[in-house]
């Protein structure tokens, strides 16, 4: 979901070879090499380049348009909220983000960025994340396609004698399937557990995680056994919509066949996408490398659904694709894509994709899901094609070139 920003020398020269005060717009050209459609492609422009072309541009006073003159929603990420900025150059900012839907066969698109001269109201949020202390320290996130959650320390804590507190120890990841594009996380937590386990018009929490990897949880595979951590301990939100949400979950060290392994997961959640990006950084001492595993629960449906589950392994793109047929709740697909995958494996509960990891260096992978009642993927074949298209997009990122003009 992150795009490689390629700045040709000619574009860089254009930004600096004239008096910057003469520029009143920045032209952005995004291009790629695939023939497939690329909906909801996130275009990323470093804020420093925006400020070079449009000195003292304000994050809340921009207009971005495509070649047809349509105004696009945008987001500016903040990488250092404590930064001093006496020169008004956006010292705290990281990237300017906006999205575009490439049609099949459309391999290039051009956009303009200009100062608006007035404050632009906030755009409707299409991604969102928050710590849910009131529900035993859940951490929940969503975009306009899906919602997810991870489980925190309060859920892991033992129940007091005589209480009916739920206890679950897991670092697996959950899915909430949505019918609607608007945010549901706050609404569903407000109506309560028993309500969101029924489809009341907005979707349903029907995915079963338990002590498994759920949809994209990780562990260390020693060739025979999967060694996993417990519930996340700390969280940190780095960006929170409207186009991209970025956050981290920190997991305490666990024993992996004699090696103590801790993990930090960084999630990148983009609007309009059925896949999230996860960068998992494992920290350990002793061995030079370990074999990490990304998993999918083998039997993730609720009880009574007469379930049939199919798995497909694709060594070429490191994907493990699951299709779950149910009696009455609709069917759904789940997948993980691990570009650096070395092999596939399984234990009693999980299908696994394995990849070597070095201490302190992130393992990048992608987790996706879709429901027949809330997505265009009505069949297993359509879901498998979408996963293949997503893998192709990852192999062929969009490149971005910039030119300042008048």
Q: What is the mean pLDDT of residues 280-306?
A: 95
The length of the chain is 406
Cα distance between residue 179 and residue 375, in whole Å: 8
Q: What is the CATH number of domain 128-375?
A: 2.70.98
* Residue with more model confidence, 24 or 349: 349
What pLDDT is stored for residue 23 in this prediction? 75
Task: Reduce the DSSP state of residue 393 to 3 states and report it.
Answer: helix
Sign of CA dihedral 82, 77, 123, 192: negative
pLDDT recorded at residue 22: 52
- Record the pTM: 0.94
Contact 326, 275 (CB under 8 A): no
Closest by CA to 170, choosing from 229, 124, 118, 121, is 229
Tokens 């992130």: give the residue. Answer: 362
Q: Which class is domain 25-122?
A: mainly beta
* Percent of the chain at pLDDT exceeding 90: 91
Mean pLDDT of the chain: 94
- The pLDDT score that the predictor gives to residue 5 is 41
Average pLDDT of the segment spanning 169-186: 98
Residue pair 99/42 in contact by the 8 Å Cβ criterion:
yes
Task: Look at residue 3 and tell me whether its pLDDT is greater than 70.
Answer: no
pLDDT at 166 over 90: yes
109 has a pLDDT exceeding 90:
yes
pLDDT of residue 17: 39
Ranges of each domain in the chain: 25-122, 128-375
């Amino acid at each position: 979901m992150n795009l490689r920003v390629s700045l040709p020398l000619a574009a860089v020269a254009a930004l600096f070879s004239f008096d910057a005060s003469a520029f009143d717009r920045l032209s952005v050209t995004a291009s790629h090499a695939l023939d497939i459609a690329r909906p909801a492609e996130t275009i990323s422009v470093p804020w420093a380049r925006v400020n070079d072309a449009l000195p003292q541009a304000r994050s809340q006073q921009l207009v971005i348009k495509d070649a047809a003159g349509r105004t696009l929603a945008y987001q500016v990420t903040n990488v250092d909220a404590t930064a001093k900025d006496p020169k008004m150059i956006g010292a705290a900012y990281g990237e300017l983000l906006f999205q575009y839907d490439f049609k099949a066969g459309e391999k290039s698109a051009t956009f303009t960025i200009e100062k608006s001269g007035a404050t632009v109201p906030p755009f409707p949020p299409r991604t969102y994340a928050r710590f849910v202390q009131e529900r035993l320290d859940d951490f929940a996130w969503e975009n306009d396609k899906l919602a997810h959650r991870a489980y925190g320390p309060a859920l892991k804590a033992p129940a007091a004698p005589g209480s009916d507190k739920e206890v679950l120890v897991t670092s697996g990841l959950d899915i909430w399937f949505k019918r609607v594009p608007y945010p549901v996380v706050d609404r569903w937590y407000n109506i309560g557990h028993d309500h969101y386990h029924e489809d009341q018009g907005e979707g349903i929490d029907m995915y079963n995680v338990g002590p498994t990897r759920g949809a994209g949880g990780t562990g260390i595979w020693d060739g025979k056994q999967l060694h996993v951590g417990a519930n996340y301990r700390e969280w940190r939100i780095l960006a929170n919509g409207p186009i991209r949400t970025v956050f981290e979950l920190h997991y305490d060290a666990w024993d992996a066949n004699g090696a103590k392994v801790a993990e930090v997961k960084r999630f990148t959640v983009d609007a309009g996408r059925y896949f999230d990006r996860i960068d998992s950084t494992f920290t350990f001492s002793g061995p030079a490398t370990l074999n990490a595993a990304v998993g999918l629960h083998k039997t993730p449906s609720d009880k009574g659904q007469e379930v049939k589950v199919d798995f497909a392994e694709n060594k070429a793109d490191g994907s493990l694709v699951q299709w779950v047929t149910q009696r009455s709740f609709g069917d759904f697909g789940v997948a993980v894509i691990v570009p650096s995958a070395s092999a596939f494996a399984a234990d009693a509960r999980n299908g696994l994709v394995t990849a070597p990891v070095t201490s302190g260096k992130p393992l990048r992978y992608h987790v996706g899901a879709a429901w027949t009642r809330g997505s265009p993927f009505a069949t297993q074949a359509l879901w498998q094609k979408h996963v293949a298209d997503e893998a192709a997009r990852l192999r062929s990122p969009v490149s971005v070139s910039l030119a300042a003009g008048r």
